[in-house]
Amino acid sequence: MSEPTVTVQSKLANPGPLGLLGFGMTTLLLNLHNTGILELSVVIVAMGFALGGGAQIVAGIFEFKFGNTFGGTAFVAYGFFWWSLIFIWTNPTEAIPAADEKSMGFYLLLWAIFTFFMFLAALKHNKATQVVFLSLTILFIGLSIGDFSGSVYIKMAAGWIGIGCGGSAIYNAMGQIINGEYGKKIFPL
């Protein structure tokens, strides 16, 4: 007698909410600093390293594995953005001068350009994702202008946009999780 063949199917989880949550919570926390509500502290750095960097990179790798170039590129790129920003802030290399406002302006401008193109790609996705990428583009532009001009007020205004951006990413993540758990649209995306 032969043994019956048993087929086991596993459902693959959506890594998008993890990446969005990592991005959203870190972005919101950092922009509480940009608005002047919080001081830059190890709290923001740790969140940027763990959730902003680590969780997004993990989510991005799984997005690539599932064939999602958009999600993979977004999460891996922004995960490494957080790690590079932490490196810039802490400057562990004594031989290299710390970042100045001009170099930070260009750094943020490059991220604004990348994010604008990601926003164009996001136009094929849900409205919540479009809001995240549009507000992130505006945030990077504002922070870049703030650094180029040296204006604390422009950076603060960009920080408020960043709070909205982070909040929209958290909403998107929670909407995907709750909608998925209940099998119906509870949070419109």
Q: Which domain holds residue 163?
A: 16-182
Task: Tell whether the torsion through CA atoms of 155, 158, 164 and 169 is positive or negative.
Answer: negative
pTM: 0.90
Q: Is residue 25 part of a domain?
A: yes
Q: Is residue 69 part of a domain?
A: yes
Helix axes 69-90, 16-34, angle to 10 degrees: 30
How many domains does the chain fold into? Answer: 1
User: Does 66 score more than 80 pLDDT?
Assistant: yes
Per-residue pLDDT, averaged over 92-110, amounts to 92
Q: Is residue 8 part of a domain?
A: no
Per-residue pLDDT, averaged over 47-71, amounts to 96
pLDDT at site 93? 85
pLDDT at site 95? 85
pLDDT at site 114? 98
Name, in order, each residue with C-beta under 8 angstroms of 36's C-beta and a sequence gap of 6 or more: 156, 159
Q: Is residue 105 part of a domain?
A: yes
Q: Is residue 189 part of a domain?
A: no
pLDDT at site 77? 98
Q: Is residue 10 part of a domain?
A: no
Per-residue pLDDT, averaged over 100-118, amounts to 97
pLDDT at site 9? 66
Per-residue pLDDT, averaged over 47-54, amounts to 96
User: Does 115 score more than 80 pLDDT?
Assistant: yes
How far is 132 from 163, CA to CA, in rounded Å?
A: 11
Per-residue pLDDT, averaged over 178-185, amounts to 94
How far is 171 from 173, CA to CA, in rounded Å?
A: 5
Strand, coil or helix: 187: coil
Q: Is residue 126 part of a domain?
A: yes
* Average pLDDT of every residue of the chain: 94
Name, in order, each residue with C-beta under 8 angstroms of 146's C-beta and a sequence gap of 6 or more: 152, 154, 155, 158
Structure tokens at 108: 């943020």
What are the pLDDT digits (tens) for 123-152? 999 999 999 999 999 999 999 999 999 999
